[in-house]
Amino acid sequence: MYTNKAVQEWVEEMAKLTKPDDIVWIDGSEEEKKRLEEEAVSTGELTELNQKELPGCLLHRTAVNDVARVEHRTFICTKDKEDAGPTNNWMDPKEAYGKLGKLFDGSMKGRTMYVIPYLMGPVGSPFSKVGIELTDSIYVVLNMRIMTRMGKVAMDTLGNSNDFVKGLHSKAQLDEENRYICHFPEDNTIWSVNSGYGGNVLLGKKCFALRIASYMGKQEGWMAEHMLILGVEDPNGNVSYIAGAFPSACGKTNLAMLIPPAYAKGYKVWTVGDDIAWMRIGEDGRLWAVNPEAGFFGVAPGTSMKSNPNAMLTTRKNTIFTNVVQTPDNTVWWEGIGVDPPQEGIDWKGNPWTPESGEKGAHPNSRFTAPANQCPSISPEWENPEGVPISAILFGGRRARVAPLVYQSFDWEHGVFVGATMGSETTAAATGKLGVVRRDPMAMLPFCGYNMGDYFGHWLEMGKKLTHPPLIFNVNWFRTDDNDNFLWPGFGENFRVLKWILARCNGEVDALESPIGYLPKVEDIELEGIEDKVSIDRLSQLLELDEDAWKDEIKSQEEFFEKFDRLPKEIKGQLENLKDRFGF
């Protein structure tokens, strides 16, 4: 079907190893989609949902032991251990190929191998890259169809080149003791075995678009980042673009699809991407970004018409739901959806369920996979091959006392330091201990495909090449008072902070210099319509710096940086400068 010799030879080599009964080359057509869906429904791999209420939608349940990414089973396999760095699990490539080769040997006997050519990034874009994933899962094929540009379009882009990322996946036995997700950045290769869960097996997503692509970016002079991209359009039709990195549970998808509050008449927020940004320096010296994905792989619990109406509307058709509740009328429900639970249903494990069961009906990491082009707020520029120019970069996390609502870094180098020190505090429910800071630099700790000290260095090098760099900000929607009540209403009201950020980018407002960066003047954050929730006094509290908390924070940052063998001297210098500004 396809004539690329390098692809054919590699597929034959992998077929000899995995020994499938049949090989199917994916073309991305509607007829193929229909045929695969019918086959998966007939075997029980997928369940067709109520086609009147949820046209084109399907339900999938993973194995009970296979419900999330497995960071402790995820490896970066470089020849030199130091190149993987202290924050990644490392395995010698020879050892990894040997160990996983035994698990892959004959793993597709009695099954079909699907050959999935896919394109990451818009068609015709200089940003875009081709991958080929081999899998024995129709669930993977149908998800990759949503998440990437799949089939003939990818092979047409590849032409006769051998420059593609090789991805091999097999469910094998779904044996969690032998579950491995191995990345070989020096070989452009990903091997994933014994999992069927999306984050481990949709190899275009975190595996390629972040771990492999971050390494590519370092080699080729661009950036692959765990960032949303959104556009803010003012009443005159001018659009400014913002990229933002947030650890999990910090409202990243909600921000990407934000609806401005009622006071902001004439403003719109456009969604370019909710999860990943590939960024390059344009001829104009600015940073330009594309979303390499074609869909959203979102967490279902907590998503509702209140928290994220645009996400809910996106999932009303052509969506694959994973590990949610199946209702008696054959639709879906999950905790936090904002409507009462059904009196009975089938839970994520496939068992009868009622609200009185004492267990959650949907898995806390249950998912929806939905096409991005169905999102009501999708940007007209989201598939622009040139990308969009980034005016501001946001870093954020959950901090109860330390970080103010928003502040701006002094410059690019200081901004890299702000990103390198970001993190979130744990909740008691998660760990049994409240307020422990989990550092997650640039929200990339689990996703950086090489030594993170070198990654900081790459950020610093990119900054030197940018003649018009984006301004860098830190935001914190999660500041609390002495009774642990949130001081800021969040959700759509976060638009007020975005407005101040863009006013800074456009040179329209001044700011107050502080030891940590530039803080807003209280009068420059608009409170119209929320005066009953956020008084001037409360806003002042949101912007205060607690010196004792910062003393502890700086000590924590020092301890974190001690683990890095290749920490750039600029980062060490920024830490010393921060101490000096506080007088510590």
CA–CA separation, 544 vs 538, rounded Å?
10
CA–CA separation, 420 vs 555, rounded Å?
15
User: Catalytic one among 57, 250, 375, 448?
Assistant: 250
Taking Cα atoms as reference points, which of 401, 442, 446 lies closest to residue 422? 442
Taking Cα atoms as reference points, which of 447, 433, 490, 401 lies closest to residue 85? 447
Measured CA to CA in angstroms, residue 79 lies from 96, 99, 125, 186 at distances of: 11, 16, 32, 8
- Residue 448 falls in the annotated catalytic set: no
CA–CA separation, 559 vs 575, rounded Å?
12
CA–CA separation, 540 vs 110, rounded Å?
66
84's CB contacts (< 8 A; 6+ apart) are: 76, 77, 78, 90, 450, 451
CA–CA separation, 503 vs 500, rounded Å?
5
What sign for the dihedral angle of Cα 233, 234, 237, 238? Answer: negative
Query: Which residues share a beta bridge with 129?
Result: 120
CA–CA separation, 208 vs 277, rounded Å?
12
- Percentages (nearest 5) of helix, strand, coil residues in the chain: 35, 25, 45
Query: Which helix (H) or strand (E) covers residue 40, if one does?
Result: helix 30-43
Task: Report the relative pairing of strands 332-333 and 325-326 from DSSP bridges.
Answer: antiparallel
Our CA angle for 343, 349, 354, nearest 5°, is 15
- 3-class secondary structure per residue, 220-288: HCCEEECCEEEEEECCCCCEEEEEEECCCCCCHHHHHCCCCCCCCCCCEEEEEECCCEEEEECCCCCEE
Torsions phi, psi for 288 (to 5 deg): -115, 140
519's CB contacts (< 8 A; 6+ apart) are: 404, 406, 407, 511, 512, 513, 543
8 A C-beta contact, residue 61 and residue 323: yes
379: left (phi over 0), alpha (psi -120 to 50) or beta: beta
8 A C-beta contact, residue 129 and residue 120: yes
Angle between helices 412-420 and 569-582 (to 10 degrees): 90
CA–CA separation, 464 vs 161, rounded Å?
32
Query: Which helix (H) or strand (E) covers residue 295, if one does?
Result: strand 295-299
8 A C-beta contact, residue 213 and residue 185: no
Q: Catalytic positions, please?
A: 250
